Amino acid sequence: MIRLEGVTKRYADGTVAVDNLSFEAPEGKITVLVGPSGCGKTTSLRMINRMIEPTEGKIFVDGKDASSLKPAELRRSIGYVIQHAGLFPHRTVLSNVQTVPNLLKWDKKRAKDRAMEVLELVGLGGDFAKRYPGQLSGGQQQRVGVARALAGDPTVMLMDEPFSAIDPVVREVLQDEFLSLQERLGTTIVMVTHDIDEAIKLGHRIAVLREGGTLAQFSSPDDLLAHPNDDFVAGFVGRDRGYRALSFQRAEVPIYPAQPVELGDRPLPDEEWSIVVDANRHPIGWVERDAVEGPISQSDLQLGGTLAEEHGSLRGFLDAALSSPSGRGVVVNEGRLVGTLRPQEVLQIIRKAPRPSGDTIAGDSE
């Protein structure tokens, strides 16, 4: 648990970066700080591990007053992930990940075993440990940054725009993996982002800050979308907040069995569109019957269209249905084809669905 009580940061020239900020980041959950440039997001984050000292107020980490701890001791107990990963370029991936265990004076075997363990956790096992940062993609470097933050077994992690420098496709994959990892580990995380969509996707609690470092609203994502406190929050969240709110609504949607085909097959004669899967039944695209002559090849595939998880949200179902070239959304379970759904039926369910109450932390009822 992390608690800020009346925290202010005032610089010598009179500039106030953060003004009387109070909130509590729930234990084992993700709290996201979001707001316009200059609102004090990163300053607030860095005051938690005393990289910046607050002028006024108190910060508590795991029930302890952070000001009563030595800064170096405090920082070693908190995982820290920054934009661009911040890896040491002259050291191997394994050496980078061992940084905190070495500072904590763990014995060599324990430090190495833990580094290898967390690299496996973030999907970089095997030979990746021997590589140097320059030999990795941006997404892989960011995974190493997360592994390094986890290596010292922290109960708390701070993350400063960790995914903002990565291309959108890789960013979404990393976000999904990060959510899965946090759910397994139960780490308390405070994260900064400028992206409201990322905040809504990742946060169990969201703190919206105004310019001048004051708190405009602190609530769950669904409550933020359904009940913004004022015009500033409503404007920052955006005009399409009703669509975003569908991310927190679940309902039974009719899913129809699909007969897939594979590359090398011919389109089904009685279907205008056929879904193409690989050998593991993972959808890879659609083919239109009248546009294909002979066996299906890679060049015949029409891509586009997101995949909806079988037990996912109404937003996921609607997006899959509306973005599909065939007009039918593709539903999967752990990446494997389950069936398809129809946009008109999803819309009918949305019309009848109750508005979210916004009274719980996202994920608490699951």
Look at 275 and 366; give whichever has higher pLDDT: 275
Tens of pLDDT along 325-345?
999 999 998 889 999 999 999
Write the single-letter amino acid at 195: D
Res 255 pLDDT > 80: yes
Tens of pLDDT along 129-174?
999 988 988 888 888 988 898 888 888 999 998 888 777 767 787 8
Tens of pLDDT along 79-110?
888 877 788 899 999 999 998 898 888 999 99
* Average pLDDT across the chain, whole number: 88
pLDDT value, residue 355: 57
Alpha helices in the chain (DSSP H): 41-48, 71-76, 93-97, 99-103, 108-121, 138-150, 168-185, 196-202, 221-226, 231-237, 241-244, 314-323, 343-352
pLDDT value, residue 360: 41
Region of 128 on the Ramachandran plot (φ > 0 left; ψ -120 to 50 alpha; else beta): alpha
Q: How much of the chain exceeds pLDDT 70, in percent?
A: 96
Res 241 pLDDT > 80: no
Distance, in Å, from the CA atom of 246 to the CA atom of 355, rounded to the nearest integer, reads 9
pLDDT value, residue 354: 64
Tens of pLDDT along 59-82?
999 889 999 999 988 988 898 888
Tell which residue, 254, 208, 273, 260, has the closest CA to residue 235.
Answer: 208
- What is the 8-class DSSP label of residue 296? -
Q: Taking the model in full, what pTM does it have?
A: 0.74
pLDDT value, residue 275: 94
Q: How much of the chain exceeds pLDDT 90, in percent?
A: 53
What's the rounded mean pLDDT across residues 3-19? Answer: 94
Distance, in Å, from the CA atom of 325 to the CA atom of 191, rounded to the nearest integer, reads 36
179: pLDDT confidence band, cut at 50, 70 and 90? confident
Distance, in Å, from the CA atom of 44 to the CA atom of 46, rounded to the nearest integer, reads 6
Tens of pLDDT along 263-303?
999 988 888 999 999 999 999 999 999 998 889 999 999 98
